[in-house]
Structures are given as structure tokens and as C-alpha cells.
A = this chain, B = another copy of it.
């Protein structure tokens, strides 16, 4: 296994102005692993309930995601439901049922412990720490989090940050975590407490990379059709991490290439409900859109 993804596997119910889906496969580990699986030998550590559909398990299996670390326990799978407005950036969470995820205790099978690349999806920071305690010196650890943990579990989160290489968060989370209203100053403040790089996910506005040496901004690709933004950030993270496994090191250049790769991956995600966009994306599709991205951002100075 080359890349280990730890996070949630969920059943999402999503309503947009034009459609609705119920109990669709979702979750941070799902999106990230599917987005990475064509690039890296990818495994997940997560938990599902006894109601988790065989078809969803098959979907992950058929995408070559290693499921040895996907624990199945008695009870219901983690469920999230949300609604999007006419503007896909307007998202409201309607309901979150942790279910079996409430007692999730990540246990890493032997072959997961040696994965050189580790992505800690957005779960309780204490669980992220327990994963870090089980792995054998990975080459690169990236970590996501959210406002809920930043506000409610700050001490636990502060124990994670010095142990990771990259923090992948959105712009609001940078501001909340750093206490700074300026994104650049906030991201630089976070570098002081541990991570070598902060990757700021800005949704339709692209992404930003802040390291001690450099600063990089990548716009997102404007899309004529945005159906369901759910999972875009995790698809970005999965594409980003997958691309990094193909690099020799983690220098500024490699991180920049990985950010563009993840940006393009996320563009496929939002064009369909659920995981469909990421699952159906072929290598050729991705390559064609990478070419479109280069054309769309090119300047002949």
C-alpha cells in the first residue's frame, strides 16, 4: 500500500434546487480514496454499519481501493444530509447522525501501517493522533480538519499539528485556526506550529499553497455545470495526495503540480451527484482537462 486514507465512509442525502438523492455513498475517506486510486495503491481505514450497501462496497473494491481497514460493525452507517441553494456555495447541513462513527476507533491492519503516504481526513483530532501512533514513519502526512474540531477540540488538534507535514483546510478554517482575518498571515501563522505547508482549499476560487519559502495560487477551472459540490474538497485532497506519490520529493514544484492535479480532479467531482464524477473519470478525461486547465491559465507575458 502506497497511500493510506483515514476518514469517514458515509451515506449522504443531498438536495439541490433541481434534484435529490438519498443515502448515496459519501464520506471523506470515500472521496479521497476514489480520487487517488488511479495514481496510488490506496487503502482506507474507516467504519461502516451493518446497513452499508454491498453495492457501495463493490464500488470501492472495483476502484481498487484496499478495504482491509474498512471495519464493519453492528448498527447504522454514518449519515449526513444537506441542502444546496441556487448558488452551489450556499450549503446547509440538515442532519448529521454519527451512528457507528461515534465509537470509531481506528485500528490499522499491518499493511496499512507501512504506507509511505498518509492522509488524515476530517475526523476527531484525537483519532488522528491514534492513527499517527500506529504508523511506521510515513514519508508524508497530510491532515484535514473542520470548524467543529477547531472550536471544540482545540487541545487535541494542537497535538496533531506538530506531527503532520501538510495541513489541507479551507479559507474559513485557516482564519478560525489562526485567529487572523488575513488568509496569508493566517496560513503563515499555522506554519509556525508544525506543518511545512498549508494548502488552502477555496472551492470555486481555487487553492493556495503557503510554505516557508513560497506562495502559490491556482484558480479553479470555471465550469458550466455544477451539480453537487459535496466531496469536492476530499476529491481535491485525494488527487493531490495521489499525484504526490508519483513525485520524488515534496518540494515546492511537486506540491504545485499536485495542487493543479487535485483541482482538476475536484472539477469532475462537482459535475455529478455523489462519487459518480470521480468514479467515471478516466485517465484520458483527466489528461484532457489538465490540458484545458493549462490553456485557461496560460499567459504569454
Contacts and interface: CB of A to CB of B under 8 A. Distances in A.
A253 interface: yes
A219 interface: yes
Contact of A296 (B185, B216, B294, B298): B216
A183 B183 CA distance: 24
Nearest to A297: B217
7 pairs of A and B residues whose beta carbons are closest in the complex: A217-B219, A205-B205, A184-B222, A219-B219, A86-B181, A253-B300, A184-B224
Nearest to A260: B299
Contact of A301 (B184, B206, B225, B294): B294
B182 A226 contact: yes
Contacts of A296: 215-217
A215 B257 CA distance: 21
A217 B202 CA distance: 15
A133 interface: no
Interface residues of A, number: 37
Contact of A218 (B220, B226, B299): B299
A212 to B, nearest CB: 15
Nearest to A220: B217
Given A217-B221, A217-B222, A257-B299, 7 more contacts: A87-B181, A184-B224, A205-B205, A205-B206, A256-B298, A256-B299, A294-B301
A216 B181 CA distance: 29
A235 to B, nearest CB: 19
Contact of A215 (B86, B222, B226): B222
Contacts of A294: 301
Contacts of A300: 253, 256-257
Contact of A219 (B218, B224, B260, B290): B218
Interface in A270-300: 290, 294-300
Contacts of A260: 299, 301
A208 interface: yes
A39 to B, nearest CB: 16
